[in-house]
Structure 1
Amino acid sequence: MDPLRLLSRSAKATRKTDKKQNQSTPSAGQRAQPQLPPIVNQPLDNRTTASRKRKRVQDVPSVSDDQLTGLDFFAGHGATRMRVKASAPAQISDSESSKKVAGSQHAEDARDTPLTTKTISSEEIRAILKQHKLKVTWLNPSSPQEKVKRKGKEGSKAKTEKSQLHPQPLCSFRELGERYAIPKRMAANIHDQGYATPTEVQLGALPLLLDSPSLYLQPAAGAADVPPHNSDGVDLLTVAPTGSGKTLAFMIPLVHKISQERRTDETLARMTSAIVLAPTKELAGQIVNEGRKLASGTKIKVTQLRKGMRLASGGTQQAGDEAGPPIVKTDIIVGTPGLLHNMLEEEDELKQMSLKGVRHLVLDEADVLLDPLFREQTLAIWNSLSNPDLRVSLWSATMGSNIEELARSTIHTRRDALGAGSGDVQEAPLVRLVVGLKDSAVPNVEHRLVYAATEQGKLMGLRQLLHPAASSGDTGAPLLPPFLVFTQTIERAIALHSELLYDIPAEAGGISRIAVLHSDLSDTVRESVMTRFRKGDIWVLITTDLLSRGVDFRGVNGVVNYDIPTSSAAYVHRVGRTGRAGREGGVAVTLYSKEDIPYLKHVATVVAMAQKQKGTSSGEGMQQWLLDALPTLSKPEKQKLKKRGIESRTKRGKEADPKSARRARISSKAGFIRKSENNRRSAILGSQRRQQADLANDAGDETDFGGFD
């Protein structure tokens, strides 16, 4: 045999083996918290010429499973234990400070170690912000010198030039103790959760919320003075990708500022100081869990608002209060706008007493909270907060210019109403932070668009994902459980769950591996389904857009859009449930039929942008001819699609066009028929197994018989 041919054959086999071993999924590998790339910890001069090889750290503290909050799906299949690197914060501290012995005294050691408080030069600050694609903009400078007229047609309105800011970034969580004097207990809580270095949004947002604005607000070129502003904080608009750590970015300043306020004024301990609004109960519960971990041992109480609760009025409890609903004394309220708005309407006195001490308002997923669905309730809560020192922060992965303008006008209107034209209420600086490319999907996820022609074809395509056959490597990475399946309506989610209920064999867990989650279920059932999915008991979770916003499932391997999302923002948030914290290996599959083609361009455009960010070659990514062939919707058509979805899949569509509604049905079989077919199929399989077992026993008896003596 030709030895050259033999060597080349073995080399090819080795490459295939290595490729197979290197495949990773979000549910496998290291269960690390979101961390910054290591480039922040390099000197400025070495960042452009740094080698890709990383030096190994000798003293690497291990983190126990009890300290981790991430998921561990299928941990027996090669999942490894996380180890956190003790990295130095951007060459600010001494090189020996990163080699402290880690353990329960890590926070105290970090605080007691003398850090060099020398301010980073402006060139280094700009380089770090540019490296991590952070853009900080001052939206409301009010100095007359900054009013400029755009060149163009006569009569054009004067516009305010937006000033770029360059605050000193936070390159390590250990800097929180030195620069901002956060409590030792809070620093220990951050360390216990496995956080070593901040993510991009934390790197930029924490200095904006914790520093005094006078440290980074600079006049624009040609301006004489810095416009007057309140030095007690800023109003912040933050746009950052899904899974980038926005919850921690706004919870750390909340807990720290409230603890400072408690030390200066003891009367504030009887009042609520902060309100966090979220669009769903699941997201509110997740924020509460993260907040309680962060505030553990700091005497700061974080409470999720539920039906039947009453907030403390800040004074003494009245005599007849014991018979009514339970009174909640808390520092931070987390809830949905509908529930809190209803509570305020029921008790008018509550507006004046319970919420007069609220100084912080956080809108998580702000584009939804200020959308027509929640806008009236959210603005009613916002305007009912009478504290003139209220600071607002808005957070989302997608935020259009209309949401930004609405937030700006609400801030101005509220300030004018409180000041009543006297000028007593000063305008706080309004700052916008954008991380990466605005309104784009995560590039570390493999995006696929699959044409299925009809509703039955979509169902077949989903079944092929559940039971993948042996195929070539051209089809991409397989979609492994656990994964989420999104539908347009609750009725379609229930129908799809009923259709797939018996697709997983009993040997793999059967019907217990598939579940459905929607808003019509009770709170107890929803919490049970969420818990089972987090533990890995449920492999396929069928849901609506209820879970598309903010909920953190770090072990989700993929997302299936059984019905196409109704907007580009909906697609960004849906596929953001996988690939959390920069994990590679996530898959996002969008099934579309002939009926979906007129509404597909917004999805295809976002997919093409994500593939371009990832650097996918032109032959593998979205084809330009497909983008050109897809029709473009007008603005009214986009608004109609976002509000109602595809008509044939709704109750309105069934009444308007019954024929199209029948074609859009997920299945034509009744649940009783599918159950009978499954029982018959299981009985046949059981009979075949028993026959094979009997034949094996008979063959064994004949072989073991040794004859008569």
Structure 2
Amino acid sequence: MDVFKLLSRSSKAVQAPPTHKLPSDGAAANPQLFGHAESNAIEHAVNKGQKRKRGQDTAEAKEELPAGLYFFGSAPKAPEAEHKADAEDKGCAKKEGLENETVGDRAEDQDSTDAYDEDECKRILRSHKLKIMVLEDFRMHEEDPQKEKKKVKKREREKEKVQDKKKNAKKQLLPQPLTSFAQLRSRHGISRRLADNLREQGYKVPTEVQLGALPLLLGKKGSREAQKGSEPGSPSSSGEEYGGDIDLLTIAPTGSGKTIAFLIPIINKHVSQKSDGVEGPRAVIIAPTRELASQIVNEARKLSKGTGIKAALMKKGMEVVERPVHEVSEASLDIPEVSEEEGSASDSENEGKVARLKKRTHRRSEKLKAAILVATPLALLNALKLRDDKIAKLPSVRHLVLDEADVLLDPLFREQTLAIWNACTSPLLRVGLWSATIGSNIEALAINTLNDRWSTLSSSNLPSRRPLIRLVVGLKDTAIPNITHQLTYAATEQGKLLGLRQLLHPTAVPSSDSTPSLRPPFLVFTQTIPRAIALHSELLYDIPPEAGGSSRIAVLHADLSSSARENIMTRFRRGEIWVLITTDLLARGVDFRGLNGVVNYDVPNSAAAYVHRVGRTGRAGREGGVAVTFYTQEDIPHIKLIANVIRASEKLRGKSEEEASVKQWLLDALPTPSKRDKRQLKKRGVEARRNVKDGEGKGKMRISTKSGYERRIENRRRGAKMAHKERGREDTRAIQAASESEFEGFE
């Protein structure tokens, strides 16, 4: 079925579609956003055949033979010159039927234990635009055991600490980059079952965030025991002195594989500790929306298959911690009041009733048995609340991950998120903050929270303080470079509706291959829920019946029930829905791999919101995604925020001034919003669109093609019908009253 032909309504013959790559065409061979030239050079060098060890070619030839052809015994072992870890991985691959690996993968697997020197690490990290720095080293804040008495010496020591902190706190790290997922087993020692699950899911080439984050979080194989006795301040640029025991703040583009990057270390850590007798969840992952939390659970279940590690989504009524006996209030048990004389006789009966009701209440609640708990902040906080608004503690949690950390630490969720953070009282807690946009205020808040946490922990059980490391991929607060941005001036709301209908019904395919067109499926973002519902009603019958009609368009927002939202998401992923109208509910984290484009019907309320909205397309290295943004006269004071993001993204892609969609003259002509305007826009959006009722100057914000004259006629007809029905009801009441008053009964 050709979607473009079904949606085209032109008298002219439809031309052949352009040969553009679309995200819905399939997965990209290389999911990386940067460093393609170097990856191709490495693959070319491997295929050409560089210096190899003796017996390496014969080993590869033997590897290609199926295991079933060795009739007289098991397959021959690899040569002794090869590493034992590589031979172990190959034997595991033969058992699972994964012999068909590429030449490049085998070469990387053979050289996986060879370490890169510092210059090579720097070159690889720079080509992939990775920047890793120690944001804060809390080990420098440890107090000396012997305190001096004189205040002058104390001040001098504090000055020296401040100077050392300025010199070493922003130290740049150059860890060994992960160039293949095959190196996770040999170099970092992950579990065999987890490595098999990664192969089954088709993970071969790591993305930029996985290339830099996994070596930091996993540590080098066999280096943790050796590094326990090392001095915490030993200088090193690779970060191996931390042994994977760090807190990580990651800023990476949307669709770059952040979920896999923080799930692999969590699952690998708890595979070896699944029988340590710890009760309760050992890892908590917080997400701002239920859709994102459900997606994380699905990925965790795929990676933890066969490992014995369970992942669960927080549901209503789920019991996370064991509640004390006194938490069940007597008022809720409905115990009858008794007098003082009958009190002694009825005490035993009341105690038995309380015990039975408590047992019944305990049976209703579902006890959590999963090691990995994924939840939204409010759902988990409600499960942790005790009497008197106290929060239960989670001493079993060893990993706390904040996905979309900038939203979770925003004033909207900040109090709930910090309450959960403080409830994790284990001194071994490792914290991870992940997002595509994290500002300096969020970094400062994270440093202060970690510093307060270290100061409140008891010194007797306090391990060596771990540093906070920041990993940045590309440029901060920049959209992904592999999509095309279009900034369209529509003047009015009617112009935006006309522009959206032109996207739905293209009259002809553009003749120029340099400007890709928007093809279904795509998302349409609006500012508020009423505007999303109104736009859905307006476009409901725009798709012809031959293409599926109104079933191809749907609306998704927070007012719908959870079952309705899940149904719409499932239909959209299956391809039954082509156009999904939504709010910022789906702007963060949700992965739509085959999404061809995004339409910002209403301008986003911040630059970060634009980055996350357009990041729904072009995920995992897929090219051809289109992001269209309509703006009107009311959006001109705020549109420069979006124009700057588009400009930076196109520079990162390498476009020249002539090819750029946002010209310099447009940036010079647009007004620069003040800080107050930015805060107001982020908090409430464009004020004119919040009220779409008829009034002075507000009727023009309504999403509709009907004129005011037609609306007045419809309102008059509707009012006449309602008045006619009301008069009919009054006549009926009058007749009934008259009939009842005719006979008054016998005296």
The equivalent residue for 2:409 is: 370
The equivalent residue for 2:286 is: 277
1:448 equivalent in alignment to 2:457: no
Q: Which amino acid aligns with 1:127?
A: R
Q: Which amino acid aligns with 2:501?
A: R
1:463 equivalent in alignment to 2:488: no
1:43 and 1:121, CA in 2 relative to 1: closer, same or farther beyond 3 A? farther
Deviation at 1:29, TM superposition (A): 4.0
The equivalent residue for 1:77 is: none
Aligned with 2:564 (options 525, 533, 537): 525
**CA displacement 1:67-103 (0-9 Å, x = unmatched):** xxxxxxxxxxxxxxxxxxxxxxxx9998999999778
Q: Which amino acid aligns with 1:446?
A: T
Residue pair 1:230, 1:427 contacting (<8 A) in 2 also:
no
1:185 aligns to what SS in structure 2?
A: helix
Q: Which amino acid aligns with 2:489?
A: Y
Residue pair 2:216, 2:239 contacting (<8 A) in 1 also:
no
CA distance in 2, matches of 1:231, 1:94: 23
The equivalent residue for 1:237 is: 249
**TM-score (normalised: structure 1):** 0.77
Deviation at 1:424, TM superposition (A): 3.5
1:665 and 1:412, CA in 2 relative to 1: closer, same or farther beyond 3 A? same
More deviation, 169-178/453-462: 169-178
How many matched pairs?
606
Residue pair 1:441, 1:572 contacting (<8 A) in 2 also:
yes
CA distance in 2, matches of 1:58, 1:558: 45
CA distance in 2, matches of 1:495, 1:99: 60
Aligned with 1:564 (options 580, 583, 603): 603
Q: Which amino acid aligns with 1:588?
A: A
Residue pair 2:532, 2:583 contacting (<8 A) in 1 also:
yes
Aligned with 2:380 (options 324, 331, 340): 340
CA distance in 2, matches of 1:222, 1:192: 40
CA distance in 1, matches of 2:25, 2:196: 27
Deviation at 1:617, TM superposition (A): 2.6
The equivalent residue for 2:320 is: 311
Q: Which amino acid aligns with 1:122?
A: E
In the TM superposition, what are the counterparts of 1:91-240 in structure 2 within 5 Å? 104-106=96-98, 117-141=113-137, 142-143=139-140, 161-211=169-219, 233-240=245-252
Deviation at 1:544, TM superposition (A): 0.3
Q: Which amino acid aligns with 2:675?
A: K
**CA displacement 1:529-579 (0-9 Å, x = unmatched):** 000000000000000000010100010000000000011100000000001
Residue pair 1:229, 1:429 contacting (<8 A) in 2 also:
no
Unaligned runs of 5+ in 1: 1-17, 51-56, 62-90, 151-156, 678-709
1:228 and 1:40, CA in 2 relative to 1: closer, same or farther beyond 3 A? closer
CA distance in 1, matches of 2:672, 2:92: 59
In the TM superposition, what are the counterparts of 1:540-579 in structure 2 within 5 Å? 540-579=579-618
- Give me the identity figure in percent: 53
The equivalent residue for 1:14 is: none
Aligned with 2:473 (options 435, 439, 446): 435
The equivalent residue for 1:619 is: 658
1:635 and 1:506, CA in 2 relative to 1: closer, same or farther beyond 3 A? same
CA distance in 2, matches of 1:582, 1:99: 31
Residue pair 1:236, 1:433 contacting (<8 A) in 2 also:
yes
Deviation at 1:658, TM superposition (A): 3.4
In the TM superposition, what are the counterparts of 1:51-66 in structure 2 within 5 Å? none
Residue pair 2:177, 2:215 contacting (<8 A) in 1 also:
yes
CA distance in 2, matches of 1:543, 1:58: 54
CA distance in 2, matches of 1:345, 1:380: 10
Deviation at 1:324, TM superposition (A): 2.5
In the TM superposition, what are the counterparts of 1:316-327 in structure 2 within 5 Å? 319-320=359-360, 322-327=362-367
Aligned with 2:273 (options 261, 266, 286): 261
The equivalent residue for 2:331 is: none
Deviation at 1:325, TM superposition (A): 1.9
Q: Which amino acid aligns with 2:31?
A: P
CA distance in 2, matches of 1:166, 1:225: 5
CA distance in 2, matches of 1:413, 1:584: 44
Q: Which amino acid aligns with 2:384?
A: L
CA distance in 2, matches of 1:44, 1:177: 21
In the TM superposition, what are the counterparts of 1:579-598 in structure 2 within 5 Å? 579-598=618-637
Q: Quick one: higher RCO (CA 8 Å, sep 6+), 1 or 2?
A: 2
Residue pair 1:271, 1:312 contacting (<8 A) in 2 also:
yes
Deviation at 1:315, TM superposition (A): 11
Residue pair 1:356, 1:385 contacting (<8 A) in 2 also:
yes
Residue pair 2:216, 2:244 contacting (<8 A) in 1 also:
no
In the TM superposition, what are the counterparts of 1:17-56 in structure 2 within 5 Å? 22-30=19-27, 34=31, 37=36, 39-40=38-39
CA distance in 2, matches of 1:203, 1:115: 16
CA distance in 1, matches of 2:480, 2:84: 31
1:129 and 1:298, CA in 2 relative to 1: closer, same or farther beyond 3 A? same
Deviation at 1:613, TM superposition (A): 1.6
Deviation at 1:222, TM superposition (A): 11
2:400 aligns to what SS in structure 1?
A: strand
**CA displacement 1:43-66 (0-9 Å, x = unmatched):** 59969x99xxxxxx99999xxxxx
Residue pair 1:363, 1:395 contacting (<8 A) in 2 also:
yes
Aligned with 1:488 (options 527, 532, 546): 527
Residue pair 1:93, 1:116 contacting (<8 A) in 2 also:
no
Deviation at 1:115, TM superposition (A): 6.0
Residue pair 2:288, 2:404 contacting (<8 A) in 1 also:
yes
Compare CA radii of gyration and give the structure with the larger one: 2
**TM-score (normalised: structure 2):** 0.73
1:660 aligns to what SS in structure 2?
A: coil
Q: Which amino acid aligns with 2:395?
A: K
Residue pair 2:554, 2:568 contacting (<8 A) in 1 also:
yes
Q: Which amino acid aligns with 1:276?
A: I
Deviation at 1:22, TM superposition (A): 3.3
1:343 and 1:59, CA in 2 relative to 1: closer, same or farther beyond 3 A? farther
1:592 aligns to what SS in structure 2?
A: strand
The equivalent residue for 1:660 is: 697
Deviation at 1:171, TM superposition (A): 1.4
Residue pair 1:458, 1:591 contacting (<8 A) in 2 also:
yes
Deviation at 1:181, TM superposition (A): 2.5
CA distance in 2, matches of 1:517, 1:385: 34
Residue pair 1:445, 1:584 contacting (<8 A) in 2 also:
yes
Q: Which amino acid aligns with 1:128?
A: I
Residue pair 1:108, 1:184 contacting (<8 A) in 2 also:
no
CA distance in 1, matches of 2:666, 2:232: 45
CA distance in 2, matches of 1:108, 1:114: 15
Residue pair 1:230, 1:426 contacting (<8 A) in 2 also:
no
1:563 and 1:105, CA in 2 relative to 1: closer, same or farther beyond 3 A? same
More deviation, 283-292/338-347: 338-347
CA distance in 1, matches of 2:195, 2:606: 40
CA distance in 1, matches of 2:448, 2:587: 28
1:491 aligns to what SS in structure 2?
A: helix
Deviation at 1:619, TM superposition (A): 2.0
CA distance in 2, matches of 1:59, 1:238: 42
Q: Which amino acid aligns with 1:291?
A: A
Deviation at 1:185, TM superposition (A): 1.6
Residue pair 1:485, 1:561 contacting (<8 A) in 2 also:
yes
Deviation at 1:313, TM superposition (A): 3.1
**CA displacement 1:596-647 (0-9 Å, x = unmatched):** 1111000000011111122223123111111011111111110110010011
CA distance in 2, matches of 1:167, 1:341: 37
Residue pair 2:386, 2:392 contacting (<8 A) in 1 also:
no
CA distance in 2, matches of 1:222, 1:313: 43
CA RMSD of aligned residues (A): 4.2
Residue pair 1:235, 1:392 contacting (<8 A) in 2 also:
yes
Deviation at 1:669, TM superposition (A): 4.5
CA distance in 2, matches of 1:445, 1:102: 39
